[in-house]
Every structure is written in C-alpha cells, then in structure tokens.
Amino acid sequence: MGNNLSIYRNLIRPALFLLPAESAYDLATVALRLSPLWRVIGAMNSFESSNIRTTVGGINIKNPVGLAAGLDKDCKVLPALSSLGFGYVTCGTVTLHPRPGNPKKRLIRDRSREALINSMGFPNKGLDSAVERIKRARRRCLDTPIVVSVSGTEIDDIVTCHRRLEPLVDAVEINISSPNTEGLRIFQEPDVLETLLNTINAGRSKPLFVKMPPFPRKTRMLRTTIPVENPQLEVGSGGLSGKPIYEQMLRMVSEMRERIGDKADINACGGVFTAKDARRVIEAGATTIQMLTGFVYNGPCVAPHINKALSNSLAETHGVGSIHELVAIKTRA
C-alpha cells in the first residue's frame, strides 16, 4: 500500500497537477467511470480488521475512514469509490434543481500547504438525476454504506431531497456549511436550522447528519472549512480545506464532544492525511473521520493505507482493543 501511495505522489499526481485543478478533477471523474478497474485496484489494496470496525448513526462500518462529499457531485462513480476501502462514501452535494455552480475559476490548489481552496457553489445535475444514478449504483450490490449530501436555500427543497433520497441510501447529510453559496446562510440561524431538522425528523427513518459551518462562538457548531479570501477565485472567497485547518478542526472536535457528551456522533472533516491524524481526531472525540483533500493529495489507495496503520497502532496500545473502545474513552469522559 505504501508503494502505491509513493507511485501516486511521485508519478501520477505531478502529471495531474500540471492541469488546472478543476480539469484534473474532471479527468479523475472520467477515470473513475471505469469501475471494473477500480474493483481490481481495490481488491489488491484491501485491508480489513476487526479492531477498526465501528458504527456511526447505528450503521455498521468496516472502518472509520469515510469519503467526504464533493468528489462525486453527481453520484455517478459510486461503484468505483465503494471499492477503494472507505468505511462509507458520501456523494453529492445534491440540490432540488440542477445548479451550474459559481463561475470559474472556482477551485485552486495550495500545494505548499497541501490544501485546496474552493468556491464551487454546489454544481450538480439536480435531484432527479441523483435519484436515478443512486438507483443504478444500488443495483450493483454495493457493500459500502452510502451517504448522500443534500442542500438548498429553502426548507421545502431540502425536505424534498431528503424524502426522495433517504430510501436509496444508508444516511443523509444536510450540508449547510458552504461559505460561498448564496442563500445558504439562512440555515446558520439556530431557529431556522431547528425548524428544518424538526420537519425532517418528523418523517425520517435513517440516520441524519448535519455538516456544520463556521460559527463565531467556539463551541456552538463544528467547523469543517475556514472561509478565506483569495484573488484567484472568481467569486473572491472560498473554503480552505486540507492540512492548514487540521489543528483547528481537532480543537473543535474536542470542544464539541465535551459539550454534547455521548448524545451524538461526530464525523470530523478537515486535514486528515495519515493514520496518526485520524487517531488524534478520534481520541479528541470523533466517531469517524472524513477526507477529501487527503484523497486528492495521496491518491485512491489512501483509505486502506490509513486503516492498516491505524489497526496496527491500536494493536500496540495497551488497554484499547478496538476503534470502538478508543471512541468510547472520550464519549465517557
């Protein structure tokens, strides 16, 4: 697995990074349509161990490393992604109607810090397209739990997305975190968010996750991206992700866990690149970790690489026999 990471970082990534970031993303998406190839690659790099099995939202998962929303915006490469060793895969973000997203240039790399800055604005083909694509993917008997991310600027829009997609997936994530999507900030008001969640909870039957935005009061919400100003982005501002936000994300996970105790699961997203990163976040109180920028910089074999190292680390830790026990230490504190 380590050799595969080196091959990607030293040979494949430099070639991809010659392209503009969004062009490289489009090329990678085309490659991921070749699902038989990725099933072979996934099988060659597969790693499973009983000590990293855990649960999130009542869902049994093989490991705590999830793929964050944003890579498979249109839910069209789920068969390939589900072969790459993640504990779960998040597709989307899906909105009720198709969206072109913000004007380009809207995705840039900060290579020196292994980071991305994006102001994508949820480009996607809309709910009807997502429903059909997830149905087709499910017919291929995916054994990796699928989470779909949804968003919108109206409560009814998000509720409609949730109602139609929930039967097709294992969980739904509501994304209210984008700092560059016009109209989305209404759900950053606690009263409005509460109304939205109450409406969805009245009819839901599967786990519901909420991807939280930055909030000025440190323990109020869990941050996943940090708004930054950058002249290379067409709209002038975007979300910073990757290594630069890791330490701040770590502190926020700890603060959130201390605030809520064991009342809810926390999926932590922000700058996780290695097994050491993942373990520190779980020790801080996260139930699982999600990654996307780490996938971009380390390649498609990153999840099994992290999982193997995490499993070995747990095996060497006295008094902690599994990832579930590691999570429980903080939630009981």
pLDDT mean over 62-66: 97
We report the CATH number of the domain holding residue 328 as 3.20.20.70
The percent of residues above 90 in pLDDT, for the chain, comes to: 66
Q: How far apart are CA 317 and CA 19, in angstroms?
A: 43
One-letter amino acid for residue 137 of the chain: A
pLDDT, residue 219, reads 41
Closest CA to 123 of 201, 55, 22, 16: 22
Predicted TM-score (pTM) of this structure: 0.91
pLDDT, residue 183, reads 67
Residue range 171-215, pLDDT digits in tens? 999 998 776 666 666 777 788 888 999 999 999 999 999 987 655
Please indicate whether residue 244 or residue 2 has the higher confidence score (pLDDT): 244
With cut-offs at 50, 70 and 90, classify the pLDDT of residue 3.
Answer: confident
Query: Where is average pLDDT lowest: 166-170, 240-244, 271-275?
Result: 240-244
What does the H/E/C string look like for the chain? CHHHHHHHHHHHHHHHCCCCHHHHHHHHHHHHCCHHHHHHHHHHCCCCCHHHCEEECCEEECCCEEECCCCCCCCCCHHHHCCCCCCEEEEEEECCCCECCCCCCCEEEEHHHCEEEECCCCCECCHHHHHHHHHHHHCCCCCCCEEEEECCCCHHHHHHHHHHHHHHCCEEEEECCCCCCCCHHHHHCHHHHHHHHHHHHCCCCCCEEEECCCCCCCCCCCCCCEEEECCCCCCCEEEEEEHHHHHHHHHHHHHHHHHHCCCCCCEEECCCCCHHHHHHHHHHCCCEEEECHHHHHHCCCHHHHHHHHHHHHHHCCCCCCCHHHHHHHHHHC
292 and 241 Cβ atoms separated by less than 8 Å: yes
pLDDT, residue 84, reads 96
90 and 173 Cβ atoms separated by less than 8 Å: yes
pLDDT mean over 75-97: 96
Closest CA to 62 of 83, 77, 92: 83
Range of the domain at 237: 2-332
What tokens does 188 get?
Answer: 């950053």
> Is-catalytic flag, 178?
yes
Indicate which residue of 177, 178, 241, 254 is catalytic.
Answer: 178
The CA-atom distances, in angstroms, between 23 and each of 8, 19, 68, 123, 296 are 18, 6, 20, 15, 13
Omega of the bond prior to 105 within 30 degrees of 0, cis? yes
pLDDT, residue 190, reads 80
pLDDT, residue 92, reads 93
Residue range 99-132, pLDDT digits in tens? 999 999 999 999 999 999 998 989 999 999 999 9
Residue in this structure with the two tokens 């209404």, named with its chain if needed: 186
Domain tally, the chain: 1
